[in-house]
Amino acid sequence: MRPQLTAIEQQKKLIRQQTRQLRTQIDQQSAAIAARNLCINIQALTSYQSAKAIACFLSFDGEINTAPTIDALLEDKGRCFLPKLKPSKPNRLWFMPYDGQTRLSVNRFGIPEVDKPVNLAIRVSSLDILLMPLVAFDTKGNRLGMGGGFYDATLAHLLSPEFADKRPLCIGIAYDEQRVSAIPAQEWDYPLDGVVTPTKFYQF
């Protein structure tokens, strides 16, 4: 028997349902324009211009299209890094180098990821910027993901004081429609430093 959801979990579930539904209502032309504008706004960040190691992700399940951003990363930086799921719990990620020609394979969730030996992964603390997927965000820097906790678990150790100067800038990327008034935060939720949308940069 599955345990009952807490009030916070129920609230998060409802926000996920509502925001994912909003994403499905964005037409193809608007989505393409949004993806291009998102890329322009990311490239305009001062932190982007000085960064050497930037991780992004391959869009899935109605997420804003990251293809223009990844193309820009390859042109501007020569490569980027993409997440790869660790095969067993705890739910964590490796960040693998990607150069546009790198072979991809599909993981257990149906998401393409880099098909390379994991010893090539970069330490998350060595990234300058981590561009993160999200389902919803608020203006206090709270991020709501799909619920698997992969990013939160991967980043958790960076909250230790010894990593104070080794944390990547964690920036969510999303449609403007994914902003909500408030997301209930839990102790394991890793906070965002900012969010870039097609029209705005939110700095927290």
* 148 annotated among ligand-binding-site residues: yes
22 labelled binding-site residue: no
Is 100 annotated as a binding-site member? no
Look up residue 75 and give its two tokens: 């042109």
Q: Is 14 among the annotated ligand-binding positions?
A: yes
Phi-psi region for residue 144, left (φ > 0), alpha (ψ -120 to 50) or beta? beta
Residue 58 is assigned to a ligand binding site: yes
| 141 annotated ligand-binding residue | no
> Is there a binding annotation on residue 60?
no
74 marked as part of a ligand binding site: no
Residue 103, marked binder: no
Q: Which two tokens stand for residue 108?
A: 């257990």
User: Could you write out the DSSP letters of every residue in 18-72?
Assistant: HHHHHHHTS-HHHHHHHHHHHHHHHHT-HHHHH-S-EE-----TTPPP-HHHHHH
Q: Is 123 annotated as a binding residue?
A: no
At residue 78, φ and ψ (nearest 5 deg) are: 90, -20
Q: Is 113 annotated as a binding residue?
A: no
Q: Find out whether 143 is annotated in a ligand binding site.
A: yes
Query: What is the 8-class DSSP label of residue 122?
Result: B
Q: Is 23 annotated as a binding residue?
A: no
190 among the known binding-site residues? no
15 is in an annotated binding site: yes
Residue 140 counted as an annotated binding residue: no
- Binding residue ranges for ATP: 12-16, 143-151
The annotation places the binding site for substrate at 58, 63
